[in-house]
Amino acid sequence: MARLLPVLFALLFCGYVQPISFSLPPNSRKCLREEIHKNVLVTGEYELSEAHNQGQVRLKITDSAGHILYSKEDASKGKFAFTTEEYDMFEVCFDSKLPAGAGRVPDQMVNLIMKHGVEAKNYEEIAKVEKLKPLEVELRRLEDLSESIVNDFAYMKKREEEMRDTNESTNVRVLYFSIFSIHQVLHLGEIFAELLPTSQSG
């Protein structure tokens, strides 16, 4: 049942994306991290409240290896898009830089909307390019959603197998370590048994 929950949520909330809002104090950094599958389209839209005293915010998106997927020095408002090459952890960071002597200034509000997979595709544009009827567009969207769900299941199964293999490998190592420990204890017992008569006779 627990495995079905992501699928149910995907079906119920497909197309509904909740924007993320947070405050960004001056000279601070805030990052959001998300795991995303391979070959997935990711799109985003961001907007920051007005900066005071010529402060600037840099937006940078990187993967776990530090490769920059998107970077904007004066990120006040804009959009971004990229396609993932591998399953990875991606990081979206906002860096606030304030010039020296700026004094006390209020925090900036950051509004961010990120979409990936089916929700990131522009089906209206696809319909125009391919001249699809409304029903055909819905069928295409459901087809893409089904493919996404199948990929999620395949990934969960793979992770489960990897975890099981890791557990089995750990159990084998624990068994070998236990046997080795028992052997060491027995060997030490033999050494003490040999030393005791010598010490008693001395």
Task: Give how far Cα 2 sits from Cα of 5, 6, 133, 161, Å.
Answer: 5, 8, 36, 17
pLDDT tens sequence across 11-60: 434 444 568 999 999 889 999 999 888 888 899 999 998 866 567 899 99
The total of other beta-carbon atoms located within 10 Å of residue 116's CB is 21
In whole angstroms, give the CA distance from residue 52 to residue 49. Answer: 9
Of the given ranges (61-70, 101-110, 186-195), which has the lowest mean pLDDT? Answer: 186-195
Q: For 18-120, CATH number? A: 2.60.120.680
Q: Please choose, from the candidates 110, 113, 99, 114, the residue with its C-alpha nearest in 3D space to the C-alpha of residue 49.
A: 110
Q: 172 versus 107: which is more confidently predicted?
A: 107
Calculate ∠ Cα 83-87-90, nearest 5°. Answer: 70
pLDDT tens sequence across 117-172: 877 777 777 778 788 788 877 777 777 777 777 777 777 777 777 777 666 666 66
